[in-house]
Chains A and B, each alone.
Chain A
Amino acid sequence: MMTRHTRSEDVALRRFAMCVMLCAAAAVPRAQTQDEFFSADALHEVRLTLSGRDWQALKDRPEDNTYYAADLQWKGIVLRNVGIRSRGHVTRNGLKPGLRVDMNRYLSEQRFLGLTAFTLDNAYNDVSLIRERLTMLLFNRMGIAAPRETHARLFINEEYAGVYAIIEQVDRAFIARILGDAEANVERGGYLFEYRWVRPYGFEYLGPDLEPYAQLFTPQTRDTDSMSALFEEIEELVRAINETPDDRFAEAVGARLDLPLFMRYLAVEDFLSETDGLVGEWGLHNFYLYRPQRDERARLIPWDKDTGFSAVDHPLDYHLLDNVLTRRAIAISELRQIYVETLIACATLASAREPESLDPRGWLEREVDRAAGSIRAAVGDDPVYPFSLEQFDESIEWLRDFARRRPAIVECALGANPAGTPSACAPGATDAREK
């Protein structure tokens, strides 16, 4: 038997239906994206919940890579049973542990916005906490694929655990983002290596045996493949760097390594006065090497850049001659030209004022202020920040000063002597390194 509704009942029914739909819409969290997760527009809040005993064990033994199960929460998204472990090299500590968060450590299909992992970097040695974020930003603006990075307040078991940098992991998901899914294929994708510092090294040839290269380049993909598949091409690259005659250097090495990209990478590091990168104080350090599946030419991906902005008058030829590859590459006019042009592009971008604005600040200084402004209050509350807020402010002021003065110093140095020292262009700035 059909029921007849009165007009008022119909209206009430419609309202009820509308209410149900609105409630349902409100209950379903809006789809979030990776871009929102790495957005620098706001300070994020990341929450990890795990057994108190596990958290204490992780802090007690920060040198261990033991994974612990935790629940991850960000903006209404909750992931159960993610794996977290201590991470870092010299920054590993039990007071404010750096963390790697793996979504699929225990649940093989689990992803977070398409990511399989990300890093929560304690930036323990960086008073400003933002050097790496600024460095990666400049790499990306210069067209060199680098991990995305922003900052978050981290809560462990609902207790504030400090300000951390959220860093995109350099892994298959990263490779898929920058080079497409085919490169990230599990079985036939490219080879991704993390450079592992064991001693000062600058691409000297280590002989035909593959073990010395395995000691330096740790496979992150295809890590159970045959040793020859993994390391023969690295051995050939290093041999070519060392043994190819000058007149064939660009061709022979360029067939195995994207040399123009390498020169741009080097220029960004040098512009930012990076002292622990390709030509830092201790030889090669802090990068990934990726050998694509469809292109024989390997490329570098920056990593762990928390030692930039070290000196406003940092010489452009600093340690350049100590590394076989940089020494031979810079001697080739076409490659040197790319290096110089990239330095000028960095300087131009860094000093670029906002169009139609009275703001005298250049792009880099504005980014310093934006990053520092977003985290300052959280740094003040950080229970395990190893410095004072005054030291934080001083460090930010250092970065501002670097951002203001470095472009002109680099341009001056390049104008006077493309491979010369900028100290002559920065009176009084010699050895001006942050204490």
Chain B
Amino acid sequence: MGYCRICPHVVALVLTASAANAQDSSGVTLRWRDHPSIEAGAMRLELAARVESDMRLATPSIGRDAAELRWQSPRVELRGRLTRRVEFEVSRDFGRDAMWKDAYVNVRLARLLEIEAGRFKIPFGRETLTGRANLDFIHRSLGASQLAPSRDAGVMVHGRVLGRRLSYQAGYFDRDGDNARTSQAFGARHTVAVRVVSEPFRADADSAYGRLQLAIALAGSRVDRRLGLRGRTLLEDGVFFERMYVNGRRLRLGLEAFWTAGPASLGAEYMRVTDERNGMGFRGDDLPAAGAHAWYVAGTWALTGERKDGWPEPRRAITRGGTGAVELVARIEELHFASASHPGTAFDFPSLESLNSNADRVFTAGVNWYLTRHVRVQYNFAIEWVADPNRSPAPTAGGRFGTAIVRLQLRV
């Protein structure tokens, strides 16, 4: 068990972590605040790591009669700055699901123009673009994990103007992200994505709307007679809408709104995907496009008063005799696949049932307990309802089931 071998070291690192700062005579500075880092002139290297363990409680209605403990793949990140203008990041998951995550270089030509190249997240979807350690929920929303593209290899220009009131990202990517493919499904190619983020009241940071963020994103790709997207339940127990072959242009549209005020935050996203099915009929005629959309509204509130900014730093960490920071979270969401038509249904393939529209609606409530700035315990309870019970993991419960999960997350 690779996880167990490294866990004691990670725990030891976390428990002994404290602000450290040392500089030797050669001008090399070693620091340890959130992460260990080393600086020499303009060069800086940071090492970060994350280990998680999930305890999923029993859910008899979907056939899980016993709780299940699972170590998530630990992640190690190396990031930093090579010169004043060149930054980089490399990260990799180890263990059972070993894979490279980010691997890119970013060149800062000006605030208005930076160029990023390598493998990184396609600019689409606020929650998808948020790192896992800063997520408010154990699992990303259905749209963020299934409709948004996530990482791929490409090149992107980005920058900000008007004193950060407007920022943009625009890039070209070889394919359309990890979320769109599996070990057996290729996904789309040639993705062009643009995202524009506005903070219209940023100049007045003290106002109630000072930290309001609005964004719009568009992404277009090509799918050449490949399988399209499918609908899976929150923890991927069931498939409520099977993927079908599509052919032509894939278009994604995303809208985002996010607002924080002191210890509270409120966020919402809407996204939709349409896949063309050109030339797929009996006489080479086009079939109607396949489509799906998703939305969520989520809120958080730190009971202990910490200002909302990703993983908040507890005012009174338990290592200093306090109780840590406690945050309540709630989210309501939906992922909906529209009905699709297929000429084969006249001959009983595929079944009409499998093409009918279906949706998964989820309400998640939970508590985040930040023991220190390195240790977090999350508890989420999700009530999930699949519109067509016969295409859900809980057919005998009307497609409705609840899932409770506890996550211990350590990061350095």
Partners in one complex: yes
**In the assembled complex, B395 has its CB within 8 A of some CB on chain A:** yes
**In the assembled complex, A16 has its CB within 8 A of some CB on chain B:** no
Residue from the list A106, A211, A227, A230 in contact with B395, Cβ < 8 A: A106
**In the assembled complex, A354 has its CB within 8 A of some CB on chain B:** no
Contact across chains for A187 and B344 when beta carbons are under 8 A apart = no
* Chain B positions 182-204 with a Cβ under 8 Å from a chain A Cβ: 182, 184-186
Q: How far is the CA of A246 from the CA of B279 in the complex (A)?
A: 36
Q: Which residues of B contact A224 (CB under 8 A)?
A: 244-245, 342, 344, 350
Q: Which residues of B contact A230 (CB under 8 A)?
A: 344
Known: A187-B185, A214-B344, A226-B247. A106 touches B279 (CB 8 A): no
**In the assembled complex, A215 has its CB within 8 A of some CB on chain B:** yes
**In the assembled complex, B343 has its CB within 8 A of some CB on chain A:** yes
Q: Which residue of A lies closest to B225 (CB)?
A: A226
Overall SS of chain B's interface: loop
Q: When each residue 64-76 of chain A gets 1 if its CB lies under 8 Å from chain B and 0 otherwise, what string results?
A: 0101110100000
Q: What is the minimal beta-carbon distance from B27 to any residue of chain A, in angstroms?
A: 50
**In the assembled complex, A80 has its CB within 8 A of some CB on chain B:** yes
Known: A218-B348, A219-B344. A226 touches B245 (CB 8 A): yes
Q: When each residue 184-218 of chain A gets 1 if its CB lies under 8 Å from chain B and 0 otherwise, what string results?
A: 01111000000000000000000001110011001
Q: What is the minimal beta-carbon distance from B246 to any residue of chain A, in angstroms?
A: 9
Q: What is the minimal beta-carbon distance from B144 to any residue of chain A, in angstroms?
A: 20
**In the assembled complex, A229 has its CB within 8 A of some CB on chain B:** yes
**In the assembled complex, A8 has its CB within 8 A of some CB on chain B:** no
Contact across chains for A225 and B237 when beta carbons are under 8 A apart = no
Q: How large is the interface on A (under 10, 10 to 19, 20 to 34, 35 or more residues)?
A: 35 or more
**In the assembled complex, A228 has its CB within 8 A of some CB on chain B:** yes
* Chain A positions 82-105 with a Cβ under 8 Å from a chain B Cβ: 83
Q: Which residues of B contact A69 (CB under 8 A)?
A: 395-396
Contact across chains for B393 and A107 when beta carbons are under 8 A apart = yes
Known: A226-B225, A227-B282. A108 touches B350 (CB 8 A): no
Contact across chains for B63 and A51 when beta carbons are under 8 A apart = no
Q: How far is the CA of A429 from the CA of B102 in the complex (A)?
A: 77
Q: Which residue of B lies closest to A107 (CB)?
A: B393
Known: A67-B390, A107-B393, A214-B347. A226 touches B237 (CB 8 A): no
**In the assembled complex, A10 has its CB within 8 A of some CB on chain B:** no
Q: Which residue of B lies closest to A216 (CB)?
A: B347
Q: What is the minimal beta-carbon distance from B151 to any residue of chain A, in angstroms?
A: 20
**In the assembled complex, A223 has its CB within 8 A of some CB on chain B:** yes
Q: Which residues of A contact B279 (CB under 8 A)?
A: 226, 228
Q: Which residue of A lies closest to B340 (CB)?
A: A224
Known: A81-B63, A218-B348. A187 touches B282 (CB 8 A): no
Contact across chains for A81 and B62 when beta carbons are under 8 A apart = yes
Q: What is the minimal beta-carbon distance from B244 to any residue of chain A, in angstroms?
A: 4
**In the assembled complex, B239 has its CB within 8 A of some CB on chain A:** yes
Contact across chains for A226 and B395 when beta carbons are under 8 A apart = no
Q: How far is the CA of A209 from the CA of B347 in the complex (A)?
A: 15
Contact across chains for A186 and B342 when beta carbons are under 8 A apart = no
Known: A224-B245, A229-B225. A107 touches B186 (CB 8 A): no
Q: Which residues of B contact A210 (CB under 8 A)?
A: 282
Q: Which residues of B contact A319 (CB under 8 A)?
A: none
**In the assembled complex, A376 has its CB within 8 A of some CB on chain B:** no
**In the assembled complex, B265 has its CB within 8 A of some CB on chain A:** no
Q: What is the minimal beta-carbon distance from A225 to any residue of chain B, in angstroms?
A: 5
Q: When each residue 282-304 of chain B gets 1 if its CB lies under 8 Å from chain A and 0 otherwise, what string results?
A: 10100000000000000000000
Q: What is the minimal beta-carbon distance from B325 to any residue of chain A, in angstroms?
A: 36
Known: A187-B227, A226-B279, A228-B284. A106 touches B393 (CB 8 A): yes
Q: How far is the CA of A5 from the CA of B65 in the complex (A)?
A: 40
Contact across chains for B245 and A225 when beta carbons are under 8 A apart = yes
Contact across chains for A107 and B349 when beta carbons are under 8 A apart = no
Contact across chains for A209 and B282 when beta carbons are under 8 A apart = yes
**In the assembled complex, A239 has its CB within 8 A of some CB on chain B:** no
Max count, chain A CB within 10 A of own CB: residue among B62, B65, B232, B390: B390
**In the assembled complex, A361 has its CB within 8 A of some CB on chain B:** no
Q: Which residue of A lies closest to B279 (CB)?
A: A226
Contact across chains for B344 and A227 when beta carbons are under 8 A apart = yes
Contact across chains for B395 and A81 when beta carbons are under 8 A apart = yes
Q: Which residue of B lies closest to A67 (CB)?
A: B390
Contact across chains for B343 and A107 when beta carbons are under 8 A apart = no
**In the assembled complex, B280 has its CB within 8 A of some CB on chain A:** yes
Q: Which residue of A lies closest to B284 (CB)?
A: A228
**In the assembled complex, B221 has its CB within 8 A of some CB on chain A:** no
Residue from the list A51, A188, A218 in contact with B396, Cβ < 8 A: A51
Q: Tell me how many residues of B have a C-beta within 8 Å of chain A.
A: 39
Contact across chains for A227 and B280 when beta carbons are under 8 A apart = yes
Q: How far is the CA of A71 from the CA of B65 in the complex (A)?
A: 12
Q: Which residue of A lies closest to B64 (CB)?
A: A80
Q: Which residues of A contact B350 (CB under 8 A)?
A: 223-224
Known: A80-B65, A211-B282, A215-B347. A187 touches B393 (CB 8 A): no
Q: Which residues of A contact B65 (CB under 8 A)?
A: 80
Contact across chains for A108 and B347 when beta carbons are under 8 A apart = no
**In the assembled complex, B169 has its CB within 8 A of some CB on chain A:** no
**In the assembled complex, A222 has its CB within 8 A of some CB on chain B:** yes
Q: Which residues of A contact B238 (CB under 8 A)?
A: 106-108
**In the assembled complex, B236 has its CB within 8 A of some CB on chain A:** yes
Q: Which residues of A contact B63 (CB under 8 A)?
A: 71, 79-81, 107, 110
Q: When each residue 199-242 of chain B gets 1 if its CB lies under 8 Å from chain A and 0 otherwise, what string results?
A: 00000000000000000000000000111000010001111000
Contact across chains for B62 and A226 when beta carbons are under 8 A apart = no
**In the assembled complex, B262 has its CB within 8 A of some CB on chain A:** no
Q: How far is the CA of A185 from the CA of B236 in the complex (A)?
A: 20
**In the assembled complex, B95 has its CB within 8 A of some CB on chain A:** no
Q: What is the minimal beta-carbon distance from B162 to any residue of chain A, in angstroms?
A: 45
Q: What is the minimal beta-carbon distance from B287 to any residue of chain A, in angstroms?
A: 9
Q: What is the minimal beta-carbon distance from A97 to any residue of chain B, in angstroms?
A: 18
Max count, chain B CB within 10 A of own CB: residue among A68, A71, A110, A187: A187
Q: Which residues of A contact B284 (CB under 8 A)?
A: 228
Residue from the list A106, A110, A219 in contact with B349, Cβ < 8 A: A219
**In the assembled complex, B322 has its CB within 8 A of some CB on chain A:** no
Q: What is the minimal beta-carbon distance from A132 to any residue of chain B, in angstroms?
A: 24
Contact across chains for B349 and A223 when beta carbons are under 8 A apart = yes
Q: How far is the CA of A176 from the CA of B62 in the complex (A)?
A: 28
Residue from the list B185, B247, B347, B390 in contact with A186, Cβ < 8 A: B185
Q: When each residue 158-192 of chain B gets 1 if its CB lies under 8 Å from chain A and 0 otherwise, what string results?
A: 00000000000000000000000010111000000
Max count, chain B CB within 10 A of own CB: residue among A80, A110, A210, A227: A227
**In the assembled complex, B392 has its CB within 8 A of some CB on chain A:** yes
Contact across chains for A108 and B247 when beta carbons are under 8 A apart = no
Known: A67-B390, A106-B392, A224-B342. A187 touches B348 (CB 8 A): no
Residue from the list B186, B232, B347, B390 in contact with A187, Cβ < 8 A: B186
Q: How far is the CA of A187 from the CA of B247 in the complex (A)?
A: 13
* Chain A positions 40-85 with a Cβ under 8 Å from a chain B Cβ: 51, 65, 67-69, 71, 79-81, 83
Q: Which residues of A contact B247 (CB under 8 A)?
A: 226
Q: How far is the CA of A51 from the CA of B279 in the complex (A)?
A: 45
Q: How far is the CA of A219 from the CA of B350 in the complex (A)?
A: 8
* Chain B positions 307-348 with a Cβ under 8 Å from a chain A Cβ: 342-344, 346-348
Sample of 20 further A-B pairs with CB below 8 A, known A106-B62, A222-B245:
A65-B351, A67-B390, A81-B62, A81-B396, A106-B238, A108-B232, A108-B236, A108-B237, A109-B236, A185-B184, A186-B227, A187-B186, A187-B226, A187-B227, A214-B344, A215-B347, A218-B347, A223-B344, A223-B349, A224-B342
Which 5 A-B residue pairs are closest in the complex by CB-CB distance?
A80-B63, A224-B244, A226-B280, A186-B184, A81-B63
14 residue pairs of the A-B complex, CB under 8 angstroms, read: A51-B396, A69-B396, A80-B63, A80-B65, A106-B62, A108-B238, A186-B227, A188-B184, A214-B282, A214-B347, A215-B347, A223-B349, A224-B342, A227-B343
